[in-house]
Structure 1
Amino acid sequence: MNRNPESFKTALTFSLLIGLSGITLAGQAPGPLSAPDVPLSHRDRIYAAEQFSNTVSVTDPADNKLLGVIRLGDPAPGNFSPLYRGQVLVHGLGFSPDRHTLAVVSIGSNSVSFIDTATNAIKHVTYVGRSPHEAFYTPDGKEVWVTVRGENYISVIDAKTFGEKTRITVAAGPGMQIFSPDGKYGYICSSFNPETAVVTVADHKVVARVKQESPFCPNIAATPDGSQVWFTLKDVGKTQVFEARPPFRMIKTIETGPLTNHVNFAHTAAGTFAYITIGGQNQVKVFRTDDFSQVATIPVGSLPHGLWPSGDGKRIYVGLENADSLAAIDTETNKVVANVPVGQAPQAIVYVPDAVAEGSGTQGLQPIGLAGQTTQLRLLPVVNGKPVASDNAPTSVTLFDQGLLQVLQASATGLQPKQAYVLALASQADGSGVLEPLANFMANPAGAAIVNAIGPIRQVVQGIAGTETRRYLVIAPTDNGKPAAPVQVQAM
């Protein structure tokens, strides 16, 4: 029998490699590829930030069950009061590397709420500059970087004291930031200027600027292997990819579709894949990160927005902004396998493995209540003066109940780029007659737009107050403020 120590060591090493070869690595963003899988369990949580109900929904992914909501504020018009103290437009999400703290950004109240994931209790609220958008922890957990989109800087918050320690000046309108898995760089795209800044985390210095093809980037993510950065361009319907390390060379521009929104990654046995929400097409599109080929198009529901992988890479969860729900995608089959009702207009979502180490983790949660009440409508294209029936209507409309009023949100596509339009109420089902304007808007370069209004709209379009008062939603082009014939009308 061979007793050679070196031979024994070699054999042992080989045996260990064989044993480890069956282990897959999730590489859950924003973590590194070397991060081990965290098998799905009842200790995991999915959080969604909901901007019209001003709630954070909490879902158990083990059985895709909504546990309740963390109520950070009130719906409109209660939050219009000068004495109002809650949060407004709950929108952005991030979480600490130890998975114990959730950072929730509220755009309208300029705040970051820090929430204990085990108890759902608010630990602190930090107020920053005008209209913050997203907040993420540095990989070492020492700082929280907040994009202050209404100004020109990143607010750097001390993760222990929750106080602002410094600011990083960038181009006006920073949209979102994410970090390289090794914690060396922060990547900050812009929502108002066509450039993404690369900042060294250690000294907060801007070391590079990467050109964006348009000025409106809402979302950015780094691949788990630390080689690429992907960012989305919502106004032109594109996604761009650049090298995550110097010289930060642009690699690829992909035509993804109208209202391209968030991007994130799943690492599986078949490779690393980018999942991108395409709001105007109600789809998630899936691309390989090695050759950038598209491998799947997944219908998910109305206006997909944020998305995040599970801790084992086996699921991608997607927030459906105009459907008030989460869609769970199986990354092996790229099929939707579950839907979970949540609050109104989910924006960013995050999946936090082992968020609740012990106990039920349901303390402080409230029922969804009014936030679960919505009405969905569709607008059809008009051809030769008549609406054309279609299962894939170009515009979806959701009415989010706020009591006696509703917030209306339309995800409009199929319009002429950079054309002025009006969303209006017509007295006739075909859109004829005098139009009552609800909101004027401009279609973006991809012929799409998100349009908002508020009022007792459901009662009118459904004829609740009497059939003689019923009106019909339409979209019409405008010239010098005067509407022409409608180009889209409400489906009956």
Structure 2
Amino acid sequence: MPSVPATRSNPSSECRCIRRRTVQEDIIDERRDHNEQDPGPAGAGRVHRAHRRDRVCRVRRGGTGANAPHGPAGHQPERPGHPGHGCGHRRAVVQRNALARARGEPIAPGRRRRPAAGRGRPAARLNFCERRLEDSEMKHNASHPNTSHPDARRAWRRLKHLASLVAVAGLAATMWAGTIQTPAAAAVRGAPKAYVGLFNDNAVAVIDTRANRVLTTIPIPAGPHGLVISPDGLRVYASSDGDSTVSVISTSTDRVVSRIDVGKAPHGLAINRSGSLVLVAVFGAGRVAMIDTVRNEVVARIPVGNPHNIAISPDGRTAYVASQQPGAAQLAILDLAARRQVGTVPLDKTPRALTFSPDGAALYYTLAGSDAVQVLDPKQNRVVAQIPVGASPHHPFFTANGAYGLVVSQGPGELAVISPGTHTVIGTVTVGRLPHWIAASSNGDTAYVTNEGSNSVTVVDVEKQRVLATIPVGTAPRKIVVQPGHAAKDAAVAPAETPAQAPPVTASAPGAAVSTAPAMADGSGAVRIQNFAFTPAPITVTPGTTVVWTNADAIPHTSTGRDRQWDSGPIQPGTSFTVTFDKAGTYTYACTIHPFMQATVIVKP
């Protein structure tokens, strides 16, 4: 067999060859179609002329056969034993078939190669009966294994045991999937649920955010205060400041599944983004408790004076605590990895609520007696802006995407919508009386505001800044959280309700009386409530003196004796409360709504 010299293929010439062949095929196919529409000598002549032009083109390039060069070094050499079967041969076959189609002639089928035995073709084929016999033997052997040998019997027993384990594991996985649901699966089943702490009802209300109605209430210990929800929406944690516990609620059953003892009078809660850690502001014990949510137990306690609310940075490394210790108000800075306090931000007023922006670049917080939201730069720990809002702002909040900041102003009963970029209020929405807390849907379109004075929750369209619904929930709703997911936009819109006035409050101490008319007492028996403080804080009187408390703030306060010797109940703005002291002694009292407000009455003969 003659040897063929090896030649190097030129990629550029190969590409040109392929392009010329493709264009030529297109021309022939186009003229063939035209010939079918216009048969006759003229049409056939056009096809023949195209064939001649193609032949002339190949002759000018240096040949008409398979050995015609394509490019400087040629395109594809002939294979040994197959002369004339290069690129030119393939093009000739394509053109011959195209001309045959144009003339209406049959196309000769190409030679099909049969695979040799061992390359995808069996050496011998079984007929139908033989195949059925072989299949039946295989099935019999699979169901009736030969276990006469001891090793075979042991292997067969192990196989059956493994199969039973796999079946049990599959059943357990099915049961687990039925009880543990992801937020996406929950969203498929229905709208997310909202959970509201009812301070005076000692319960947590569960709201269907699609129907905007209360589904059920969950009893917990006295004084529901803090409330957080796990990122997956499966657990709700609720603190009770009339007790010493944090209740763990399962959102799949809406029942308390665990209680964790944290210390006296726990207030606000915070949870990190992974859901592995819950911080508890234990106001009465003067410390922050750290709860491991996997074990549901306290793993550390960090001393902080009268902690009230907490905010955890988005990276989960740092927490800022609103410390309401009288005479030492501050933001305490905690290192969560080291589990200790590493810094403070001293304040001239008592901090109330605080929250981080989603990117962690700003910390919004409010102060008692200040009608502005404070903007803190956490890197420098200094205030970089103040955002004027309505009287007595309480809870600042950010939508999850950071597009809007929100804050409730308790004096006018409104929700302010803030532009985080400019630190300005871009709109307000009137809600209920004494709004307390804010939650929002995952996309930030819908906000939920608790109205402690109206016993309701207001549903607000944040973008359009309008009320969608008002939901009656129970007595004194405070904190609220919402499961991950989007609220239903097509939910029925309930008209906003005019809150009913609270019933008159009676004093519990003999000689005490409530006055609903504005009153300003003169002399030594006058106490003014203003800027979240009793003035004068210690007041000295003689036996038989009537002390008058007048509320000059924009929100209610109480005057309550330490041992409940008297209890004013909520003293509304512009009204007063009186108590007559007949016996000598020192009487300590506080506001039960804002426990950091404390003072004394000293009775001397």
TM-score, normalising length from structure 1? Answer: 0.63
Aligned residue for 2:450?
319
CA contact (8 A) 1:185 1:200 kept: yes
Aligned residue for 1:222?
356
Please list the CA deviations of residues 94-147 of structure 1 after superposition, one character each: whole Å capped at 9, or x if unmatched. Answer: 112222110001111121000111111211111222211012222232221100
How many Å apart are 1:304 and its aligned residue? 0.6
Amino acid at match of 1:277: V
Amino acid at match of 1:346: P
How many Å apart are 1:447 and its aligned residue? 5.7
C-alpha distance 238-480 of structure 1, shift in aligned 2 (>3 A): farther
C-alpha distance 45-439 of structure 1, shift in aligned 2 (>3 A): farther
**Does residue 59 of the first structure (1) align with residue 159 of the second (2)?**
no
CA contact (8 A) 2:520 2:550 kept: no
Please list the CA deviations of residues 205-238 of structure 1 after superposition, one character each: whole Å capped at 9, or x if unmatched. Answer: 32331233412x2311111121111111234333
Amino acid at match of 1:204: R
Distance in 2 (CA, whole Å) between partners of 1:116 and 1:71 is 13
**Does residue 148 of the first structure (1) align with residue 282 of the second (2)?**
yes
Aligned residue for 2:490?
none
Aligned residue for 2:320?
187
Please list the CA deviations of residues 374-409 of structure 1 after superposition, one character each: whole Å capped at 9, or x if unmatched. Answer: 9832xxxxxxxxxxxxxxxxxxx4569xxxxxxxx9
**Does residue 158 of the first structure (1) align with residue 302 of the second (2)?**
no
Aligned residue for 1:341?
472
What is the aligned counterpart of 2:268 among 121, 125, 134?
134
Aligned residue for 1:475?
575
Alignment map for 1:186-265 (pairs within 5 Å)? 186-192=319-325, 193-215=328-350, 217-244=351-378, 246-265=379-398
C-alpha distance 252-258 of structure 1, shift in aligned 2 (>3 A): same
Report the secondary structure of 2:308's partner residue.
strand
How many Å apart are 1:66 and its aligned residue? 1.5
CA contact (8 A) 1:179 1:186 kept: yes
C-alpha distance 440-290 of structure 1, shift in aligned 2 (>3 A): farther
**Does residue 309 of the first structure (1) align with residue 444 of the second (2)?**
no
* Count of matched residue pairs: 351
Amino acid at match of 2:202: N
Aligned residue for 2:558?
451
CA contact (8 A) 2:205 2:216 kept: yes
What is the aligned counterpart of 2:461 among 327, 330, 354?
330
C-alpha distance 334-302 of structure 1, shift in aligned 2 (>3 A): same
C-alpha distance 398-49 of structure 1, shift in aligned 2 (>3 A): farther
Distance in 2 (CA, whole Å) between partners of 1:398 and 1:448 is 16
TM-score, normalising length from structure 2? Answer: 0.52
What is the aligned counterpart of 1:284 among 401, 407, 415?
415
Q: Identity over the aligned pairs, expressed in percent?
A: 25
CA contact (8 A) 2:231 2:484 kept: no
C-alpha distance 178-256 of structure 1, shift in aligned 2 (>3 A): same
Aligned residue for 1:46?
194
Distance in 1 (CA, whole Å) between partners of 2:468 and 2:424 is 24
Amino acid at match of 1:147: A
CA contact (8 A) 1:263 1:276 kept: yes
Distance in 2 (CA, whole Å) between partners of 1:284 and 1:191 is 25
C-alpha distance 40-202 of structure 1, shift in aligned 2 (>3 A): farther
Amino acid at match of 1:191: Q
Distance in 1 (CA, whole Å) between partners of 2:214 and 2:548 is 36
How many Å apart are 1:263 and its aligned residue? 1.3
What is the aligned counterpart of 1:123 among 257, 282, 297?
257
How many Å apart are 1:150 and its aligned residue? 1.9
Report the secondary structure of 2:376's partner residue.
strand
Report the secondary structure of 2:444's partner residue.
coil
C-alpha distance 249-105 of structure 1, shift in aligned 2 (>3 A): same
Amino acid at match of 1:70: I
Task: Flag the structure with more relative contact order, 1 or 2, with Cα contacts below 8 A and sequence separation at least 6.
Answer: 1
Report the secondary structure of 2:253's partner residue.
coil
How many Å apart are 1:183 and its aligned residue? 1.3
**Does residue 176 of the first structure (1) align with residue 309 of the second (2)?**
yes
C-alpha distance 59-479 of structure 1, shift in aligned 2 (>3 A): closer
**Does residue 420 of the first structure (1) align with residue 553 of the second (2)?**
no
CA contact (8 A) 2:269 2:278 kept: yes
CA contact (8 A) 1:210 1:250 kept: no
Please list the CA deviations of residues 173-213 of structure 1 after superposition, one character each: whole Å capped at 9, or x if unmatched. Answer: 11111211121211111223421122222222323312334
Aligned residue for 2:219?
71
Structure 2 residue ranges without an equivalent (≥5): 1-182, 487-497, 506-513, 530-544, 568-572, 583-605
Distance in 2 (CA, whole Å) between partners of 1:295 and 1:209 is 32
How many Å apart are 1:279 and its aligned residue? 1.2
Aligned residue for 1:376?
500
Amino acid at match of 1:190: S
Structure 1 residue ranges without an equivalent (≥5): 1-34, 73-86, 356-373, 378-396, 401-408, 423-436, 458-472, 483-492
CA contact (8 A) 2:550 2:577 kept: no
Distance in 1 (CA, whole Å) between partners of 2:444 and 2:485 is 15
Aligned residue for 2:145?
none
Amino acid at match of 2:298: E
Distance in 2 (CA, whole Å) between partners of 1:89 and 1:411 is 27
Amino acid at match of 1:209: T
Amino acid at match of 2:358: P
Report the secondary structure of 2:374's partner residue.
strand
How many Å apart are 1:452 and its aligned residue? 7.2
How many Å apart are 1:344 and its aligned residue? 0.8
Amino acid at match of 1:52: N
Please list the CA deviations of residues 56-80 of structure 1 after superposition, one character each: whole Å capped at 9, or x if unmatched. Answer: 11111122122121122xxxxxxxx
How many Å apart are 1:283 and its aligned residue? 1.0
